[in-house]
Amino acid sequence: MAITVRNNKFILKTDNTAWILRTEEGYLEHLYYGADVPDCDPDHLVNRQILNFAPYDASLGLKYIYGGRLYVYSGANSGDFRTPACDLTDKNGCRGCRFRYAGYEILSALPSDYVLPHVRGDMETLKILLTDEDKGIDAELYFTPVEDCDVFARCAKIVNRSGGKICLNKAASMQLDFENGNFDAIFIAGAPGDEMRNVRRRITQGKFEISSRFGITGHSANPFFALCEPSATEDAGECYGFNLLYSGNFKSEIESDCHNCVRVAAGISDESFSWTLQDGESFYTPQAVCTFSAEGIGGMSVRFHKLCRKYIVSPKYADFRPIVANTWESFYFTVDEDKVRAFARKAKEIGADTVVLDDGWFRNADNENLGDWELAKDRFPSGLKKLVSAVKDNGLRFGLWFEPEMISRRSKLYQKHPEWLLNNGDTGSESRNQYVLNMGNPEVVDYLYGVLAGYIGEYGIDYIKWDANRYLSEVGDLRLENQGETWHRYVLGVYSLLERLTSRFDVLIEGCAGGGGRFDLGMLYYEPMIWLSDNTDPFNRTEIQFGAATAYPPCTMSYHFSKGDGTTGKPSLPYFRALVADFACFGYELDLTKMSESELAGCRAFTDRRRTLDKYVLSGNFYKLNVDNDYYYACMQVAEDKSSALFTFVQLNAQIRYESVIVKLKGLDPAARYRIGANGQILYGRTLEKAGLKISDLLCPHWKTEDALRISLARGKSGSGISFEIVRTDD
Ligand code: GLA
C-alpha cells in the first residue's frame, strides 16, 4: 500500500522511500521524509526546545511554538516567520492565514478537474484538507506516490468559501521542512548557448532562491534543484531532488532559519502573481515532484529520468523519436522549394525520417510576418501541398516551424488585432524584432488553434517545431481586473493550445525557446523532445547535455549534427559530432545538398548506427561516470533488464602525457558476465563496476577490431571518443 493512515499518522511510501506526516494539536505536521523506515515511528524527531521570542498557540502555551514545528503547508503572517507556502488577502483586506487539519480522503487519482500537466496515470492520491476556519479558506493538499520511481507528486488547491472576494498572493505547489538541514543545493544555471550548467553551493542561514521572471522558464535557471548532504557525490550520499511541472515564472525558495531548520517552498513565483477568487472559486497550483536517493546525486537523476520517461512524456513516444533533417542551419532565411526538394532527397539517402522546414517559409527576415503564417509565395511558388507531397513521396515525414505565441509589428495580424499583444500600458519593448501575444486571451488561443489545426489537417503536417524566441515583458492584460493573473493565464493558454492540438492530432511537437529557454517538465508533458541549445558545437553540447542529464533523460534533448565549424567556429570531426548523439535525440542540420557521396555515406552509417541505439537512449537508465575530471565525459545507458548497455566516452581535452584512464561502470548486473564491444573481452559486471574498464588501451591508435563500433576515433585526441555496447553473455 502506497498510502496508510494509522492513528494520527499519514504514511506514504514508494519502493525505497517514506514520507510521514502527523496531526498534532489540530495542526498538520511534517514528521519525516527519506529512506524507508519500516516501523514508521520517528516521532522523537520533532521535539524542539523552547524558542525565545517565538509566538505560540495561545490555547496551548509554550508546548506549541509555531516556529519550532515542521509543517506541510504554512500560511503567511501567522506566527511562523519562515517562508510561507500560501499568502492571501482575505475578504476584509487582512493579510495572511493559518491552516489547521480538517480531514482526509484517499482518492484513486487526482481530481478530474485538474487540467495542468501532471504525472500520468491514475494513482492512489492522498487528499488532506486544511482549513482556516476564521477566514473561510481551505487548502486541499494532494500527495501522489509514484512507487516505482521513488517520487511523490504534490499540488494544492486553495478554495474560497469566505462569502467574499479574496486575493491569493502566493500559492506554492509544495513545502518541505527539515529539522536539521545541513545541505548543499545543486541547481541548473546558464545562458542562451550555454545552457544547463550545474552549480553547487552550501545552504547557510538566510534565503536562497532559484527563479524565473521571464514569463517562460528561461535560460538562466531551471525549476529543477536538489538538496544533498555536503559530502554527497555522484555515487554516494543522500540527495533530495525537486522539480515543477510548470513553464512560467517559478520560484523555489530554500531558507535556513536561525535554528538550522531548512524550509523548501516551490511553485509559481509570487513576485508578480496575484489571483482573485470570488466566493466559491478555487485555484489549483502546478504539480511539484520530489524524490529521494540514498545513492548520491546519480541515484536522484535515475529516478527523475524514469519519472519523465514513464509518466511525463506521452506514452505515444515511449519507443520512438524521429531522426530529423532540419533546414535552419542549412539555409537559414534563404530556404526555397527547390532547396527543400533536393534536401529531402539527400535526407532520405542518409536515413533521416523527417524533414523539418524551419523558419523562413513565411518570411525573408526575422522582422516580419510572425502571426500571419502565410507561405512566402516568391520562394515557394508551387505551394505547400506540392512540397509536402514531394517530401512524403520520398517516404519522409514533414515538419513545419511555428512560433505561435509571437507577433511581428509588420504583420496583418498586428494591423487587425493590436489589442492581442501583452500590454501593461506601455508600448512594449522589442526583442528579436518581435512581440508577444497574450495567450491568456481565449480569442488568441482560438485563432492559433485554427491556424495550426488548419495546417496540420490540410497539409498533413506530422511534426511541429514550436519556438518561443523571446521572454515576456510589459506583461499585462487590459481585459483583466487583476493584472497579477496575466503571467499564469499566459501559461494556461499555452497549455490549453498544446492540449487541444495533441489530443486531436497525431503530431509530434518539438519544443524550443532560442535553444533551451523553456526546457521543463510542463513542456515535456506535451513535447517529447526539446531543442536543448542553439549551440551545436559538440564540445559545448557534451557539457550542456551532461548538465541537463542531472535532471532530464537524454530522450528529451534534441541535438543535431551540424557543420564542422559549428556554432562556435571550433572545428570538429564528423565522428565526434555524431558521438554526442549517443545521449540525445539525433538529427541533421547542415546543407546535405552540398555534401560529397562519401560524406553522405558517412552520415548514413551514423543514422543506421543511431537507430540501433534507440533502446538505450529512449528507455535505458543513464549514469554519469567518473564525473570528477577535467578531460572527458563518460556515461552508460543500461537497458532496464540489464541485459546490455551503451558505453560512451567523449574526450574533450586530451592530455599529451600518458594517463591511464580507468572508468568504473555502473548499472550492470554484478553477477552477470558481459562482452565488451570494443575488444571482445568478457568480464563480470562486478569487475567492471569495482575495478573498472581501462579506456586508455581502447583509445590507442593500434586498436582495431571488427566488433568495434564505427564511431570510434581511437586516437585519444581532443574532440575524439569511443562508444560501444556491452552485452550480457553466457560464454
Ligand atoms: C531559434 C531556434 C532555432 C531556429 C531559429 C529560427 O533561434 O532556436 O533552432 O529555429 O529560431 O528563427
Residues 438, 409 within the same domain:
yes
Residues 439, 581 within the same domain:
yes
CB crowding 344-357: b at 16 or more within 10 Å, else e: bbbbbbbbbbbbbb
Q: What is the pLDDT of residue 40?
A: 73
Whether 41 is covered by a domain: the verdict is no
Q: What is the pLDDT of residue 710?
A: 45
pLDDT in tens, 531-588: 999 999 999 999 999 999 999 999 999 999 998 888 899 999 898 999 999 999 999 9
Residues 467, 580 within the same domain:
yes
Q: What is the pLDDT of residue 81?
A: 95
CA of 514 to the centre of ligand 1 (A): 6
Q: What is the pLDDT of residue 705?
A: 41
Q: Is the CB of 469 under 6 A from ligand 1?
A: yes
CA of 164 to the centre of ligand 1 (A): 48
Total structural domains in the chain? 3
Residue to probe by mutation, ligand 1, list 334, 400, 431, 467, most atoms within 8 Å of CB: 467
Cell numbers at 438, concatenated: 497574450
The CATH number of the domain holding residue 228 is 2.70.98.60
Integer Cα distance of 340 and 353 in angstroms: 14
The CATH number of the domain holding residue 706 is 2.60.40.1180
Provide the residue range defining the domain that includes 714.
625-729
| The residue type at 300 | M
Whether 54 is covered by a domain: the verdict is no
User: How would you classify the pairing of strands 275-277 and 166-178?
Assistant: antiparallel
| Those residues with Cβ within 8 angstroms of residue 361's Cβ, 6 or more apart along the chain or in another chain | 335, 375, 376, 379, 380, 384, 400, 401
pLDDT in tens, 618-651: 999 999 999 988 889 999 999 999 999 999 999 8
The CATH number of the domain holding residue 399 is 3.20.20.70
3-class DSSP assignment, residue 675: strand
Q: Out of 250, 282, 312, pick the residue that ends a domain.
A: 312
Residues 601, 713 within the same domain:
no
Residues 616, 629 within the same domain:
no
Residues 609, 682 within the same domain:
no
Q: What is the pLDDT of residue 427?
A: 79
Whether 393 is covered by a domain: the verdict is yes
Whether 52 is covered by a domain: the verdict is no
**What are the strands, taking DSSP E only, across 117-181?**
125-132, 137-146, 151-160, 166-178
Q: Is the CB of 359 under 6 A from ligand 1?
A: yes
Task: Give the catalytic positions in this structure.
Answer: 467, 534
Q: Is the CB of 403 under 6 A from ligand 1?
A: no
Query: In ligand 1, which atom is closest to the CA atom of 332?
Result: 6
Q: What is the pLDDT of residue 700?
A: 58
User: Does residue 588 contact residue 596 with C-beta atoms inside 8 Å?
Assistant: no
Whether 660 is covered by a domain: the verdict is yes
Query: How many other C-beta atoms are found inside a 10 Å radius of the C-beta of residue 669?
Result: 16
Q: Is the CB of 467 under 6 A from ligand 1?
A: yes
Integer Cα distance of 472 and 288 in angstroms: 23
CA 378 to chain centre: 39
Residue nearest to atom 8 of ligand 1 (CA): 514
Residues 515, 658 within the same domain:
no
Q: Which helix (H) or strand (E) holds 636?
A: strand 632-638
Whether 582 is covered by a domain: the verdict is yes
Q: Is the CB of 515 under 6 A from ligand 1?
A: yes
Residues 605, 638 within the same domain:
no
Residue nearest to atom 7 of ligand 1 (CA): 514
Q: What is the pLDDT of residue 703?
A: 41
Q: What sign has the CA pseudo-torsion 303, 196, 267, 205?
A: positive
Residues 330, 355 within the same domain:
yes
Q: Out of 312, 342, 373, pick the residue that ends a domain.
A: 312
Whether 57 is covered by a domain: the verdict is no
Integer Cα distance of 283 and 473 in angstroms: 25
Query: In ligand 1, which atom is closest to the CA atom of 513?
Result: 8
- Residue ranges in the chain whose pLDDT is less than 70: 46-49, 656-659, 700-716
Q: What is the pLDDT of residue 48?
A: 65
Q: Out of 621, 645, 664, pick the residue that ends a domain.
A: 621
The helix/strand count (H/E) of the chain reads as 14, 38
Residues 180, 222 within the same domain:
yes
Q: Is the CB of 517 under 6 A from ligand 1?
A: no
Q: What share of the chain is helix, strand, coil (3-state, %, to 5)?
A: 25, 30, 45
Whether 657 is covered by a domain: the verdict is yes
Integer Cα distance of 39 and 6 in angstroms: 12
Residue to probe by mutation, ligand 1, list 324, 326, 358, most atoms within 8 Å of CB: 358
Query: Closest Cα partner for 629 from 647, 658, 655, 648?
Result: 655
Q: What are phi and psi of 714, to 5 degrees?
A: 55, 30
Residues 642, 559 within the same domain:
no
Site of grid cell 565488451:
676
| Those residues with Cβ within 8 angstroms of residue 207's Cβ, 6 or more apart along the chain or in another chain | 83, 253, 254, 255, 256
Q: What is the pLDDT of residue 695?
A: 86
Residue nearest to atom 11 of ligand 1 (CA): 514
Cell numbers at 350, concatenated: 542518409
Could you give the strand order of the β-sheet that contains 720-729, starting from the edge strand earlier in sequence? 621-625, 632-638, 644-651, 720-729, 673-676, 682-684
CA of 243 to the centre of ligand 1 (A): 26
Q: Is the CB of 328 under 6 A from ligand 1?
A: yes
Residues 236, 255 within the same domain:
yes
Residue to probe by mutation, ligand 1, list 335, 367, 512, 532, most atoms within 8 Å of CB: 512
| The residue type at 74 | S
Q: Is the CB of 534 under 6 A from ligand 1?
A: yes
User: Does residue 341 contact residue 387 with C-beta atoms inside 8 Å?
Assistant: yes
Query: How many other C-beta atoms are found inside a 10 Å radius of the C-beta of residue 672?
Result: 14
